[in-house]
Amino acid sequence: MEIKTNRSRETSNARVIPPPDRAHHARKKASRKLGKNHIAGRRFLSALKTLGKIGAFLLLIVFMLSVFIYAYTSEKFNLRHVTFQGCKELDERELEKIIRQDFPANVLRIDLLQLKNRLEKETWAKRVEIRRVLPSDLIIYVQERIPSVILELGNELMIADKDGILLGRYEPRFGKLDVPVLKGILGEDAEGYRLYQDENAARIQQAIVMLSEIESGLPQYTQRISEIDVSDRENMKILLVDDTAEVFLGEKDYLKRFRTFINNLSEYQKLKLQYNEFASIDMRYDGQIVYRPRREMQNDFITPRLEDVEVEDR
């Protein structure tokens, strides 16, 4: 007996639904896990690099600190040699003594600016520059002050530079300073001079300006000036070589007034024959010269007018 069915045809014509692709799903999960692991690895490596940089920086700081401590405490950096350049009047041994007594032994601990300021307080030191030469030396360059004027202070002749800094007594070793002697300086000695430092410096600088102005027009005649009285800054006075009369030049127009005086020297010589000596010759008036004879208890003035050079008794 034969039984037939249509199952096979139905089966062949039915839609076949494949089972889910478990392998593909597994690959997705695996790729996600790998991505997360890769990110975590990159973060870990970045953290390691950061920690490495921090560690290297800390090691560098420790190294530099060790070097710093070593340099500031090691005897290898203690001052051994001090070399001076430019010292003529300054005593190098005294300067070195100041450095070794007043400053740290270690050259790295010496404040160069403080040392510069200290050395520039020495009388002859105008400017000081300092250079370290490691591990243990200093080189000091000194610019000394130059004597420019001679002062009469008390009963002594002293020298000063153009800034009015008193340098000491005038001695033959300074050579011949071909400049007039300045009188009218405040103070009886060096200590008294420094009490009036600013005023004395101003008087000296005004005398230098006056001489420079006269020399610019009559260079040969400045050598005939033997003294300058700076006691009154509004009336600078000069004395000529081999003459006792003070010439008043005031506080300005020094060259003009001095030139007028020189141009009338012949008239002055004639008046000297008549009046013997003069106490002063006043050049502060335009158009005339006022002469004051040196006579006991006499205040007469003789005034030659420049336009006709006549003598007028007052």
Whether 184 contacts 229, CB under 8 Å: yes
For all residues of the chain together, what is the average pLDDT? 82
All structural domains of the chain, each given as residue ranges with its CATH number in brackets, are: 76-144 (3.10.20.310), 149-263 (3.40.50)
Residue from 271, 277, 280 nearest 313 by CA: 271
Percent of the chain exceeding pLDDT 90 equals 55
Q: What pLDDT is recorded for position 310?
A: 36
- Is the pLDDT at 309 greater than 50? The verdict is no
Q: What pLDDT is recorded for position 302?
A: 60
Q: What is the mean pLDDT of residues 260-285?
A: 90
Q: What pLDDT is recorded for position 312?
A: 38
Whether 81 contacts 136, CB under 8 Å: yes
Whether 249 contacts 257, CB under 8 Å: yes
∠ CA 228-190-174 to the nearest 5 degrees? 65
**Helix-helix angle 92-102:112-119, to 10 degrees:** 140
How far is 234 from 133, CA to CA, in rounded Å?
53
What six digits make up the tokens of 142?
């000194």
How far is 257 from 289, CA to CA, in rounded Å?
10
Residue 222 makes CB contacts below 8 A (sequence gap 6+) with 180, 211, 214, 215
Q: For residue 306, name the pLDDT band (cuts at 50, 70, 90).
A: low
Q: For residue 33, name the pLDDT band (cuts at 50, 70, 90).
A: low
How far is 102 from 115, CA to CA, in rounded Å?
9
Q: For residue 93, name the pLDDT band (cuts at 50, 70, 90).
A: very high
Q: What is the pLDDT of residues 126-144, one digit of tens each?
A: 999 999 998 999 999 999 9
How far is 123 from 146, CA to CA, in rounded Å?
11
Q: For residue 42, name the pLDDT band (cuts at 50, 70, 90).
A: confident
- Is the pLDDT at 232 greater than 70? The verdict is yes
How far is 246 from 278, CA to CA, in rounded Å?
8
Q: What is the mean pLDDT of residues 165-177?
A: 84
Q: What pLDDT is recorded for position 221?
A: 83
Q: What pLDDT is recorded for position 171?
A: 86
For the CA atoms of 144, 161, 216, 247, the dihedral, rounded to the nearest 10 degrees, stands at -170
